[in-house]
Amino acid sequence: MKKLFSQFLFGSQTGNNKTINLAYLFFRAHLGLSIAIHAGYPKMKDILAPGWFSEQVASLGFTFPSPQFWAMAASWGEFVGGLMLAVGLLTRIASIQLAFQFLIISFVWYNEPEFLTGMYFQQLYFWCFVLCSAAGGGRFSLDSLIARKKFSLAINPVIKPALTIFLILFFTFHSNAQQPAIQQEDIKKLEGNWKGVLMYKDYTSGKEVLIPCNMEVKLKDDGKQIQMAYNYPEERSHNNKDQVRITSDGTRINGEKLSHRSVDTNGNVKLIIETRGEDGSKPAIIKQIIEISDSSFIMTKVVQYMTTGETVQRNQYRWKK
C-alpha cells in the first residue's frame, strides 16, 4: 500500500525516452508557469482572493463553508499548484486540483460548453491537466528525483503546522455575511432631471470619447421600478428609454444579484452588480458600479478579465442636478 501511495505521489508514466521526457518537461513547465503567472499571481494582490472572484465562486454554488474559502483555495491552487507543476513536485496532486478547477470552468461556468469539440482555451487547459494527472512528473522532475531517492522530503515536521494553518484559515474565513440590499432612501435620490456626459472607450482605437448626455428619472411602485430616459443632444438618434426593476427585498436589479452596497459618512451610496460574460471574446467579470449622492449620479461599467485579472473601464455616465 505504501509503495502504491508513493508511486501515485512521485511516480511517472512517461517512460525513459529522453526526447519524449524533454518535450514533456517543456510542456509541463509552460503549462504550470502560464497558469501560475497569468491566472494565479494576479489574484495574490488580495491574500484571501479578490472580491469579484469570491462572487464568481458563489454564483457557481460553492457557498459552504463560504465563497471566500473556495475562492482563496482556487487562487492559491492556481498559483502554488502551477509552480509545483512547473518544477514537477507532487505533480499529480497539483494537476488533479487544477483539472477540477478547469472542469468547473469549462463545463459549468462557460456559457455554451462543448465536450471534446469545444474550441475554447479553458477546455484545452482542462485536458492538459488531465494528461499531467495521468502521466505524473516525468523523468526530468523533482518527483523523479524523490522517487529515485536522490534526496528525501522531511514531510512529518510540516504536517502539524500546515494542518493548523489550514484549520485557522478554514474557520477564520467562514463567512455568513448578509446579502447586500438596496434601501428605499437610496433610490429616492435618483428622481428628477440630470445633465452630464457619457465617456466610453472605443474598442477599435482604444481612445476615450465624450458625448453630452442628459437623463430624466421617474420612480414607480415605491422605487421598485425606475424609468430612465436618456437624451443625447448631439446624437438624438441614440435617445432611448430604459426600465430598471428591483426585487421586493432589494437584493436584485433586473434579475442580477447586488454584490455590494455601502454608504459613506456623507450619505453617498455605492452599489455594485457583478455578472459573468465576455468582453472582446475573452471571459470576464462585468461590473456595473452605481454611485448616488444628492447632487451627482455616476454609472460605470468595468471589465475584469478572468485569465489575467486586468481591469478596464469601458464606459461611464456622469450626471449632476
* E-strand stretches of the chain: 192-201, 208-220, 225-231, 240-245, 252-253, 256-263, 269-279, 282-292, 296-305, 311-320
What integer pLDDT is reported at residue 159 of this predicted model? Answer: 46
CB 67 within 8 A of CB 58: yes
Topology (CATH) of 184-320: Lipocalin (2.40.128)
Q: According to the per-residue pLDDT averaged within each range, which of 59-68, 76-85, 204-213, 246-255 is highest?
A: 76-85
Whole-number pLDDT of residue 108? 82
- Give percent of the chain with pLDDT exceeding 90: 36
Q: Which of 9, 33, 142 is closest to 82 using CA atoms?
A: 33
**Domain residue extents for the chain:** 2-172, 184-320
pTM flag (> 0.85): no
**pLDDT tens track for 53-105:** 777 787 778 888 888 888 888 889 999 999 999 999 999 999 999 999 999 88
Q: How confident is the model at residue 153 (pLDDT cuts 50, 70, 90)?
A: very low
Find cell 429616492 and name the residue. Answer: 188
What residues have CB less than 8 Å from 161, skipping those under 6 apart? none
pLDDT > 70? residue 169: no
Residue 208 — very low, low, confident or very high, per pLDDT cuts 50/70/90? confident
Tell me how far apart the alpha carbons of residues 257 and 276 are, in angstroms, rounded to a whole number.
12
Average pLDDT over residues 295-314: 86
Q: How far apart are CA 90 and CA 87, in angstroms?
A: 9
